[in-house]
Amino acid sequence: MENIHPITILMASIFTSNMILANFLGMCSFIAVSKEIKTSLGIGQAVTFVLTGTSVINYLIYHYILIPYQLEYLRFIVFIITIAAFVQIVEMIVERYLPTLYYSLGIFLPLITVNCAILGVSLFMVIRSYSFLQSIAFGIGSGLGWMLAIVAMAGIRQKIKNAPVPKGLQGAGITLIITGLMALAFIGFSGIVNIQ
């Protein structure tokens, strides 16, 4: 994995190996939050920021603390603690210095801790043995890709609000079907870049 240019990884993680549409990560909040464009944009920005921050911190911790002391098997616990702590600190800083942003994000910020996309990116980073720059690019790209998917989904869901959806399919069911169609469309990008 050493020869892939970081920009290639950035583009690939936005389009071809999108966190939601190709790796199914962050589905819980994706279905729960994608009802309005404005809130999904907010949570998308928060996820992108947290993803970038935690992938950098987890990279440093994994390569400079866990590997030298041969504690790789502890990575699950360490990563999840880092993520929880990072979210907590970001929440405090945002509350102190950017109160307007804090109120617009509201409950979404603490919920990010249990978003599987965040932990997933850190674990993918270890499995694919990315370098430092590649990890940053992967973090940013995954966040942007996640945001792209959730905002697009919110736009579609606003349009189908009044559509005559069959009763059993309303809510989560139709959301999943639309996600499938979106994933199908995104497969069309797969010729551009591929990092699988």
Partner 1 sequence: MTRKTKEIFSLGILKDNPIYRQMLGICSALAVTNLMTNSFIMGLGLIFVASFSSLTVSIIRQFTPKHIRMMVQTLIISAYVIIVDIVLKAYMPDMSEALGPYVGLIITNCIIMGRCEAFAQSNPPLPSFLDGVASGVGYASVLLIIAFFRELLGFGTVFGYTVFGDWWVNWIFMIMPPGAFFMLGILIWVANYYVPKESEEKPSMGGAK
Binding residues for partner 1 (CB under 8 A): 21-29, 31-32, 73-77, 79-80, 84, 111, 114-116, 118-120, 123-124, 127, 166-169, 172-177, 179-181, 183-184, 187
Q: Which is nearer to partner 1, 67 or 187 (CB)?
A: 187
Among 55, 44, 46, 8, smallest CA distance to 148 is for 44
Looking at beta carbons only, is 123 or 151 nearer to partner 1?
Answer: 123
Q: Min. distance of Cβ 32 from partner 1 in angstroms?
A: 6
* Smallest distance, partner 1 to C-beta of residue 120, A: 6
Query: Which of 111, 137 has the CB closer to partner 1?
Result: 111
What is the DSSP track for 84-145? HHHHHHHHHHHHHH-HHHHHHHTTHHHHGGG-HHHHHHHHHHHHTT--HHHHHHHHHHHHHH
Least CB distance from residue 129 to partner 1, whole Å? 13
Joined together, the tokens standing for residue 126 give 């270890």
Q: State how far the Cα of 131 lies from the Cα of 26, in Å rounded to an integer.
A: 24
**Residue closer to partner 1 (CB basis): 97 or 165:** 165
Chain-centroid distance of CA 131 in Å reads 19
Give me the least distance between CB of 58 and partner 1, in Å please.
12
